[in-house]
Amino acid sequence: MRRMRLAVAVAALAALAHSGFAQSQEGPILIGASIPLTGGVSMFGQHSRWGAELAAAEANAKGGVLGRKIEIDFQDNRCNPAEAVKSVTQMLAEKKYVAIFDGLCSSAALAIMPLVERAGIPFVVANASATSIAERSGVGGNKWTFKVNPTDASMLDALVGWLDKEGKAGNIAFLGEDSDFGRAGSTGLENALKKRNLKLAGVDFFQKGNADFTPVLTKIKARKPGLLALYAVDADFQNAIRQWYGLGGGVPLTGRVLVDQVPKEIMESGFLDGTTSVQPYDPSVDTPGNKAFVEAFRKLHNVPPILVSFESYEAMKVLIDAIRRAGKADPAAIRDALVTTKMPSMLGTVIDFDDHNLAHNNAIILTIKGGKVVVLGMSKT
């Protein structure tokens, strides 16, 4: 009797396991995303989600991929490496996801990388810009991580090249948040300047969430730099830019300045004229693909896309394309398909990965002239 019960239990477990397997083969294709949905940069997390969801919705509207719908499960990482590890570990334990998406913050993405390598599941980085992500991927060691957006180093090299031509690269002070994002910015600038026998006039870091920048901005102003490279986002950026204006900084900004987030009054005053910024995206890029994207995004959310929305949209399209070409929802097959990606970008290039699994899309060089943002041009990263 006991044997009979055991046999029934085993049969029931097998049936359950089989039904689960059958569901994973026939239900939607699940992608796990770890992004900041709460915390200081959740606005960017929201835009990342909107961008990725739009790409998935477009694919699903065309009948899905391999005859199945694409579904993205978003987990919160608060832009914190420990939370990123927690969220991705949970997703990997469930073994129902075919890939992990984004991370958004560089520190979070770097923390996720060893997990996906151990689990053997592709990780598509859409927004994190730290150069070390690409350095450690592909021939750098981690075969499962693919970085679709350009690195800070490549973007800053393009920017410094342009500044050098204009004779403006000689006296740049740096102020950035004390994180992988800010540190990658200072290292990227230092390396780009070093190539041209130049160096930074000063380097300062601040802690994320710092409200008052007046002491450090007073110090920077007294040094009289030619340009100030500002690596700040969200509330930090708003506080820093207002206080720089309040102190009459008198020096244009450079680096990855969020020109679309400068308060209108400061922008129109001409205070920031001469500012140059390098970004992976600008909504004003004049290509048919971008125009359609901006229109679709605005229709859904009543706001224009920002670079995070664009990067997540295009990175999700890269991942969906790889799933389609893989011919099956299998992580290893998707990884192999990612390696051979050749997908047109909305910025006019073709996205493909180098031996560090890094794509080299165009970067946009912007300037502020007469209180308005002007696209100077695009430069391959």
Partner 1 sequence: MDAGFYLQLLLNGIVIGVIYALVAMGLSLIFGVLEIVNFAHGEFYMLGAMLAYFLTMNMGLGYAATVVVVTAVAVCLGYVLYEALLASLEGGGFERSILLTLGLSMVLQNGAVFLFTTTPRMVQTSQSYVNLVVGDVRVSLMRVFALALGLLAFGALYLILYGTRIGRAMRGVAQNRDAALMVGIDPRAVSRLAVAIGIGLSGLAGAALAPVYAVHPLMGFSFVFKAFAIIIIGGLGNVAGAAVAAVALGMLESVIGGFLPLVMVDALVFSSMIAMLLLRPQGLFGRGVRV
User: In the set 63, 120, 141, 215, which binds partner 1 (CB under 8 A)?
Assistant: 215
> Measured from the CB atom, is 20 or 209 closer to partner 1?
209
User: Should residue 238 be labelled a site residue for partner 1 when binding is judged by CB under 8 A?
Assistant: yes
Q: Choose the binding region for partner 1 from 16-24, 42-50, 84-92, 314-322 (rule: CB under 8 A).
A: 42-50
- Say whether 117 sits in a helix, a strand or coil: helix
d(CA 274, CA 227): 9
User: Should residue 104 be labelled a site residue for partner 1 when binding is judged by CB under 8 A?
Assistant: no
> Measured from the CB atom, is 263 or 377 closer to partner 1?
263
User: Should residue 200 be labelled a site residue for partner 1 when binding is judged by CB under 8 A?
Assistant: no
> Measured from the CB atom, is 7 or 82 closer to partner 1?
82
Residue entry with tokens 């915390």: 39
Q: How many residues bind partner 1 (CB under 8 A)?
A: 36
User: Should residue 340 be labelled a site residue for partner 1 when binding is judged by CB under 8 A?
Assistant: no
User: In the set 248, 288, 302, 370, which binds partner 1 (CB under 8 A)?
Assistant: 248
d(CA 33, CA 76): 8
Residue entry with tokens 């899309």: 361
User: In the set 24, 40, 171, 376, which binds partner 1 (CB under 8 A)?
Assistant: 40
Q: Choose the binding region for partner 1 from 22-30, 191-199, 237-245, 285-293 (rule: CB under 8 A).
A: 237-245
Other C-beta atoms closer than 10 Å to the C-beta of 268 total 13
> Measured from the CB atom, is 62 or 264 closer to partner 1?
264
Rg (C-alpha) for the chain, rounded Å, is: 23
User: Should residue 202 be labelled a site residue for partner 1 when binding is judged by CB under 8 A?
Assistant: no
d(CA 61, CA 48): 20
Segment holding 97, helix H or strand E: strand 97-102
> Measured from the CB atom, is 61 or 222 closer to partner 1?
222
User: Should residue 41 be labelled a site residue for partner 1 when binding is judged by CB under 8 A?
Assistant: yes
Q: Are 105 and 128 in contact (CB under 8 A)?
A: yes
User: In the set 42, 132, 142, 275, which binds partner 1 (CB under 8 A)?
Assistant: 42
User: Should residue 304 be labelled a site residue for partner 1 when binding is judged by CB under 8 A?
Assistant: no
Sign of CA dihedral 74, 151, 307, 318: negative
> Among residue numbers 151 through 180, which ones bind partner 1 (CB under 8 A)?
178
151 token code pair: 């690195």
Measured N-to-C along each axis, helices 307-326 and 42-61 cross at an angle, to the nearest 10 degrees, of 40
In 154-247, at which residue ranges do the beta strands (DSSP E only) sit?
172-177, 202-206, 227-231
User: Should residue 295 be labelled a site residue for partner 1 when binding is judged by CB under 8 A?
Assistant: no
Q: Choose the binding region for partner 1 from 80-88, 100-108, 213-221, 328-336 (rule: CB under 8 A).
A: 213-221
Q: Are 155 and 254 in contact (CB under 8 A)?
A: no
Contact letters for partner 1, residues 260-279 (x by CB under 8 A): ---x-xx--x----------
> Measured from the CB atom, is 268 or 330 closer to partner 1?
268
> Measured from the CB atom, is 40 or 114 closer to partner 1?
40
Name 299's Cβ contacts closer than 8 Å, sequence gap at least 6: none
User: In the set 39, 161, 170, 289, which binds partner 1 (CB under 8 A)?
Assistant: 39
The 362-369 sheet, strands edge to edge: 276-279, 362-369, 372-380
Name 158's Cβ contacts closer than 8 Å, sequence gap at least 6: 278, 363, 365, 379, 380, 381
Residue entry with tokens 């601040």: 206
Closest distance between partner 1 and the C-beta of residue 190, in Å?
A: 16
Closest distance between partner 1 and the C-beta of residue 66, in Å?
A: 35
Cα 104 to Cα 77, 82, 141, 146, 263: the distances in Å are 9, 14, 21, 13, 25
Closest distance between partner 1 and the C-beta of residue 259, in Å?
A: 16
Contact letters for partner 1, residues 79-98 (x by CB under 8 A): --------------------
Give the interface with partner 1 as residue ranges (CB under 8 A).
Answer: 38-43, 46, 178, 204-207, 209-216, 218-219, 222, 234-235, 238-239, 242, 245-248, 263, 265-266, 269
